[in-house]
Structure 1
Amino acid sequence: MHREPDFLQNLRGELSNGRLWLERAIVLAYAVAAGLFVVGFTLLSDRTFGLFEALYHAHPWAVFLWTPALTAAIAWLTRRYFPGAGGSGIPQVMAALDPGLPPEARGRFVSLKLTLAKIGLSSAGLLAGLSIGREGPSVQVAAGVMQHAQRWLRLGSGLNAHALLVAGGAAGIAAAFNAPLAGVVFAIEELSRKLESRSSGLIITAIVLAGLVAVSTFGNLSYFGVIKVPRLGWDALLPGLVVTLSCGVLGGLFARLLLASLTGSPDRISRWRGRYPVRFAAAGGLAIALIGTVTGGATFGAGSHAVRDMLAGDFDLPAFYVTLKFAATWLTAWCGVPGGIFAPSLSIGAGVGHNVAVLMGGDISAALIAMGMAAFLAAVTQAPLTAFIIVMEMVDGHAMVLSLMSAAMLASLVSRMVSRPLYGSLAEFMTRPFVAERDRSPAAH
């Protein structure tokens, strides 16, 4: 028979452990620092892309020199000095969380050095006009800050490197999207799969605190404003299914294409990329500049402005926008530069929703765009809960909870028939050499 808890006794027990409260304060202070790093990253990213847009509008021809040259420089710096900073950043955090990874190798994927490199190189990618986002990199940025807290904690504190990395990665999502709930779900669905009960409260508090830092800086505003959701009846079922299934197939193909490109498929182009990575990056930058010029600049950058305009009904979508944004994002990732695919994926999904709305008519275009965003992001990441909550919080779409959830779940299911999980597969590819080396060492036998 369970006894009723003694409040005063439990309170005295909690307050008597000064070291425990000091460690909790340290973790929460690092959570605030992680949020500030992401806020600084956001401001720098916006500033650098603004400079690119000014250059493009003043001298459109200059991108054919500027984008390839800067892309090549970023690729060289990344490979030469910061190999762990390449790509999205989410696979690196998942690799650092792999229990099979030797502890001494964790710094290859997450560290304060990589945090600073990620901020600088990703911002430089936006200065080049590459099709990247800052949200995925924010996961690695915040995780690098949070893991630094471990040096101030006791071994028996209950907060190990795993817990700090989960808190940091999720805090990055919360601060980047101004969506603390999405950060908590991301921690459970994509990073940890489960949270230990003795540290879950502190981890969730750290995630929310980092999100609040972003809210206090940018205001309690939805990322894409508030959409006007019309009444969704049975007439919306067919357009919604078309958007969802299209995004599921496209997102699965996108993830499969990225996996083949980034893990070294045996085709001739991949072999050339492996031999001359900087030249390949320059050629990729030239192709991205050409695609951006053909679309009147619509495919440059993350695509957030295009999504805002589509939701407001003010965006005249260029022909083949979805295809060309798809290609620009894939080429950017293939170049090996630091940068995420969250925001470009939202832009591609929004474009699919916009196209279906134009083709099938009706007055539900905003709803179809939001469903496309959730569906394509869920298909690429195969993390449907995180995807639909991110979109719901970004557009203040609480009236569309069931529609967004259904679109994300179905698109993720379709994607699983086409591709392996993107982030998990990339993380496994990154850790494979370290695990193999550990297994070959005499100490392992």
Structure 2
Amino acid sequence: MARRKSADLLFLVCFLAGVLSVVHFIFTFRVIPRTEHVHRDHCIDIKEFEKVSLGPVDKTLNTSDQAVSSSAAGFVYPASKFFTVWHEDSAPRVNSKLRGKKKIVVWGDEEEWDETIPSPCRPDVPPCDITLDIGQSEDADAVVFYYSRTPNVFNSSSMPKRYPHQHWIFFSDEAPLYPAMRDHDFVSYNGVFNMTMTYRLDSDVPALYGSTDIVYNKLKGKDRRHSKELDYSVGKKGLAVWFVSNCYKYLPRFAYARELLKHMDLDIFGKCGKEIACPGKGYDCSDNIIKQYKFYLAFESYHCREYITEKFWRNALENEAVPIVLGPPKCDYERIAPPNSFIHVDDFESPKDLAAYLKRLDKDTELYNQYFRWRASPKPTESISSDYGSAWCRLCKKLYDMDTTERKVYTDIDRWLKGKSYDQCKPIVLLDYNDPRNNVHFVNNFTSL
């Protein structure tokens, strides 16, 4: 009898263990994929992730085991396998003299950065000293390295001396496929940087090209945009316009544009089309032209997740032209753009279908103006308010808000940039950009403005 009871007990234990294994497998199957890097053809659903605080731990923590909150964006992203976070005692400063401000040293060219760094920040941001004087790096709380100012292969002799209390920050506004980015061996930089500062929302310090909040703030006080009866087609003589100067013919946008030209009027300016003489940076000149068109081709050079540049924000939205977008998936735009403010090429079977829709909007004033209704009622949104200028203020605030015991290092910044399976961007043909045989030039009849 005792043996039978023992056998029954053993069977029950094995049965329960089997049930737990099945439950664990199901849970793992359902939850773990959501913590992996999302494939470029799918979007991160912010609502799927709960805000989780990162509690103190005694030893190195691989963050692939849990979700990590993003204080900058206000929500969490899937846990990353590309960096490690741990806690340890605060490192003392090299210079023990107390300062009332955090100090940020930008490792770069003074002429290049002069117009980028704001001073001072907003009133709600504690004060920071942001300097281009690399001689002050010893006492800096953070050192920001713009990617193009770092060696293609990591070389400690070309970098400043590192101090335990500092945060080293990788900064880039370019996509991984950009030639100068491709020249870098980022594998050699694994274990070097503590933070990232890029156009991506999952950066430690997002530095977007624009945001809905910034657009809305610019609309405040402009009474004409608060009238729902305003007709935005008035004064626009042309259908669609495109300013483009990167003429490398293997960029996917050129094949689409060639096909689009077969079915609609499209005026192309810049090095790849009709060159115009514009003083300085040429914004005033190009702005005056864009404002005379109903649509602007905000075609990105590279199809990389979240890579949405000034083509969308400055060239199109600020000039009251509806952006026709080609680049990252539609949901990336929807996450940060004003509602119903753009047209994505992915919504159409072909360039011919897109052209037919644009010509329909050209004739239907009421339908066309639907793309401007968001301007009538600017309101606060949940989108992150960050551009190049405010990103520096965001970094400053982050330095004050951080747990002084927290340490973080990117153990695989190469794949953080390019994707776990190197799928952050759609691949393109990579040849010599400087070879004139690899450039394209459009010659077509232009609208008489």
User: TM over 0.5, yes or no?
Assistant: no
Q: Which structure has the bigger radius of gyration?
A: 2
TM-score (norm 2): 0.22
TM-score (norm 1): 0.22
* Structure with more of its chain in helix, by fraction: 1
* Structure with more of its chain in strand, by fraction: 2
